[in-house]
A = this chain, B = another copy of it.
Amino acid sequence: MHYPTPISRLIDGFMKLPGIGPKTASRLAFHVLDMNEEDVLSFAKSLADAKRELTYCSHCHYITDTDPCRICNDTTRDAAVVCIVQESKDVMAMEKMQEYSGLYHVLHGAISPMDGIGPEDVKIPELLKRLQNDEIQEVIIATNPTIEGEATAMYISRMVKPTGIKVTRIAHGLPVGGDLEYADEVTLSKAIEGRREL
């Protein structure tokens, strides 16, 4: 079947996005043809702009269009607490909660010896340097509860503890609204392990 070239190029473009197969891509492409020109052009521009204008904060490595980023620049935030996350998306999840007022440090990955990713391949050296220079009192490790995330947490905790800075790990357990019956064993064991007195 031959689509006119501009359509097939557009479909190919959509197919490069995650979770979008040929059918969805062609549905989206046809929708684009029905959209008004201004919207399409501004969408095209925002794609190119996002790639061009965004950079990583030289301080916390969060994705940003200003350097240092707005979070690092915000003097109302508590600069004595640093939350360590794997990805920029995790910062956004934390910010959505609107309860954390400290700073962040984005690792851009996790230690994974199986994939040949060591501490130097994520932003751990940058973290250690930051801990030396800045006046930080607590490091909250919020890497994912996966093997890689746990290994990274363990490694960071071992590197930071000797400096006397408090190191904490976010709690793992049953999600709120979750059902004990359907929880996996590991989560359940973490929930028991992390139990607190009422």
Contacts and interface: CB of A to CB of B under 8 A. Distances in A.
Contacts of A164: none
Contacts of A33: 50-51, 54, 63
Interface residues of A, dominant DSSP: helix
A29 to B, nearest CB: 7
Given A2-B95, A3-B92, A4-B64, A13 B51 contact: no
B30 A89 contact: yes
A6 B54 contact: yes
A96 interface: yes
A9 to B, nearest CB: 4
Interface residues of A, number: 55
Given A1-B92, A16-B35, A31-B18, A48 B54 contact: no
Contacts of A48: 40-41, 44
Chain B CB count within 10 A is highest, among A2, A29, A39, A43, for A43
A144 interface: no
Given A33-B54, A53-B6, A63-B4, A47 B47 contact: yes
A54 B4 contact: yes
The 8 A-B pairs with the shortest beta carbon distances in the complex, nearest first, are A13-B43, A44-B47, A9-B46, A44-B44, A4-B65, A44-B48, A10-B50, A6-B50
Chain B CB count within 10 A is highest, among A12, A30, A48, for A48
Contact of A46 (B3, B6, B24): B6
